A and B are shown apart, each in its own frame.
Chain A
């Protein structure tokens, strides 16, 4: 379960990010005025990620080859759209997205580690708890990074 959600899904997204780097130098494929400030693209790509993280969709991807195939097409595409939209997103937008992702890692970590029932029919209870721990770890790392970035005085590598 950890491998599915925290390794496979990010790798599929990363495929799109790499493709964007190689194929889409700005201002190419930014979406023009349709992708104003990168917001429409961001909604689409994060929406796709959310969809493929629904427990039911995780199961469907394992039980149904068609779902799995669609996932392998959609997520790299979402990664590509995310990359080109991110470039256009203003700093405040980036901050909002990152802060949400980090807090979401804590929330998911908590939810998966305390859930009294199995959430996916394809995974065991212990695998689910492991995923919870992994999300909590991710949240902790990301929060530590955020603190370090914010508290470190600009230009001087002084410890907190």
Chain B
């Protein structure tokens, strides 16, 4: 009898721990946990000073008032970022056609290598032009870890001199908070989400 009780308690403890560690069996990976947490409560972002492909300086907070779709990149990237860049290019076309106030922002996490000339080259590759689409880097590289942490982006070496990172399309709402994360290959959903915030006004649902 005691054994049955102990087994039940042990089972309850194990199930409880697994549930607690996975948001009730909904998020088994760090990436899905990030998406769930952000969707549940939009996350404030640090007001980092950036400079875009034209050398113009602005703060992340200056973009408040309209939704911004953000990607993290490094210009040497030859894998996911190429697909992500193409996705942004498609979003740019859709948004321009609609005359939408939604903005696009590509932020380099490799500011040591990505100087303004390289940002310009990257912007040229995809036809990115301010103010619709800024390709930027942090002015002070020391602020990069805080920025990446706030967005939940983890960058690791790919063993070949490049980087691997959890590439995604991130929606920052009109109040400057990270409010939704879309797959890198789902630009349509990202545009719909951003549009919804324009029409819904403010942070949206």
Residues on A lying within 8 angstroms of B by beta carbon are 31, 33-37, 39-41, 43-44, 47-48, 50-51, 54-57, 59-60, 63, 118-126
Contact = CB atoms under 8 A, between A and B. Distances in A.
Given A34-B3, A36-B6, A50 B18 contact: yes
Nearest to A125: B164
Contact of A118 (B2, B11, B159, B164): B164
Interface in B1-52: 2-4, 6-7, 9-11, 13-14, 17-18, 21-22, 27-33
* Most chain B CB atoms below 10 A, which of A31, A36, A126: A36
A34 B11 CA distance: 14
* Most chain A CB atoms below 10 A, which of B9, B27, B28, B30: B30
A56 B164 CA distance: 17
B29 to A, nearest CB: 5
* Most chain A CB atoms below 10 A, which of B10, B11, B17: B10
Nearest to A59: B30
A77 to B, nearest CB: 13
B7 A36 contact: yes
Contacts of B27: 56
27 contacts: A34-B2, A35-B6, A36-B3, A37-B3, A40-B6, A44-B14, A47-B14, A47-B17, A48-B14, A50-B18, A51-B14, A51-B18, A55-B28, A55-B29, A55-B30, A56-B22, A56-B27, A56-B29, A56-B32, A59-B29, A59-B30, A119-B29, A121-B29, A121-B30, A121-B31, A122-B156, A124-B164
B98 interface: no
Contacts of A33: 2-3
Contacts of B28: 54-56
A35 B158 CA distance: 47
Main secondary structure of the interface of A (DSSP, over half): helix
Interface residues of B, number: 27
Nearest to B16: A47
Contacts of B159: 124, 126
A51 B3 contact: no
A114 B88 CA distance: 28
A125 B163 CA distance: 12
B14 A124 contact: no
Contacts of A41: 10
A56 B2 contact: no
Given A54-B18, A56-B22, A121-B166, A39 B3 contact: yes
B29 A47 contact: no
